[in-house]
Amino acid sequence: MVANGRQESIPARKTKIVACAVVVEELRSRLPAEVECETLDFGLHRSPEQLHGKLQETIDNSAGYQNIVLAYGLCGMSVIGLRSESATLILPRADDCIAVFLGSRKAYLKQQNDFPGTLFLSKGWIEGRIDDTNPTEVIYQDLLKKYGEQKAKRILSVYLARQPLRHYRRLACITTASETDLDHYKGIARRRATDLGLAYVEIPGSTAFIDKIAAGAWDDEFIVVRPGRSISFDDFWQDADRTTPPHGMSQLAGK
């Protein structure tokens, strides 16, 4: 926590961290041994309602803590409405964990503005969600068995024209220097870009958000919600009535 301009360590037994499996590798290596960190399954992102329910259940079951840090972003609105009657909730002011890996919302919005049509991946995203299978090929082979070559190609062309990824132009793999076995994950990301017909680039990430979570340095990049109040959309977009959140607020690959 930051007090009088000085960064203080998280008080032992007073703070619990609830983290998505996507960010936990970077986070655990930075945490003091006495700080509890509970990891939730990345698969919960497939349903914002399920993720919301699991987060609220975890908060409710975390009695006795002064602070509960959620290592999540807005994540498809899944954190909206979360509350604790006894603990202060703290979470990054970020749209999703891509902003967390880039180090700030500012960096995230710059990427969205400078390179619209980008699909982001990271090592954590790959571990939680992506395999080596070409999804288009799987769909085509299934259609081929059912309808034959001519009709399968026609159905697939209609599907590809309608599916959300048609708006994407490049796939960006975010990496940080402290991650391990990166060549393997870069290879998966590069193959996925080829499968989807996207240009492939690599972007150096930042551990700034992760470092602040681990150190309890909850500055203005974080939302701090006192006991008895629910997390609201205005906490993320305080000028939401005057601005439009960027396209891609919820990372498509996590849906």
Query: Rounded to 10 degrees, what is the CA torsion of 125, 128, 129, 134?
Result: 90
pLDDT (0 to 100) of residue 77: 87
Residue 71 has pLDDT above 80, yes or no: yes
pLDDT-derived band at 254 (thresholds 50, 70, 90) equals very low
* Surface-to-core class of residue 113, CB atoms within 10 Å of its CB (0-12 exposed, 13-18 middle, 19+ buried): exposed
* Surface-to-core class of residue 226, CB atoms within 10 Å of its CB (0-12 exposed, 13-18 middle, 19+ buried): exposed
Global pTM?
0.73
Residue 200 has pLDDT above 90, yes or no: yes
pLDDT (0 to 100) of residue 84: 97
Contact assessment for residue 28 and residue 20, using Cβ atoms and an 8 Å cutoff: no
- How far apart, in whole angstroms, are the C-alpha atoms of residue 37 and residue 242? 37
Query: Rounded to 10 degrees, what is the CA torsion of 28, 32, 35, 39?
Result: 0
CA 212 to chain centre: 16
Residue 103 has pLDDT above 60, yes or no: yes
Residue 10 has pLDDT above 70, yes or no: no
Residue 9 has pLDDT above 70, yes or no: no
Residue 14 has pLDDT above 70, yes or no: yes
* pLDDT tens, position by position, 208-240: 999 999 998 999 999 999 999 999 988 887 653
Q: Where are the domains of the chain?
A: 2-96+207-254, 102-204
Q: Is 119 helix (H, G, I), strand (E, B) or coil?
A: strand
* pLDDT tens, position by position, 156-184: 776 665 555 567 889 999 988 777 678 89
Residue 79 has pLDDT above 90, yes or no: yes
Structure tokens given for 84: 């604790």
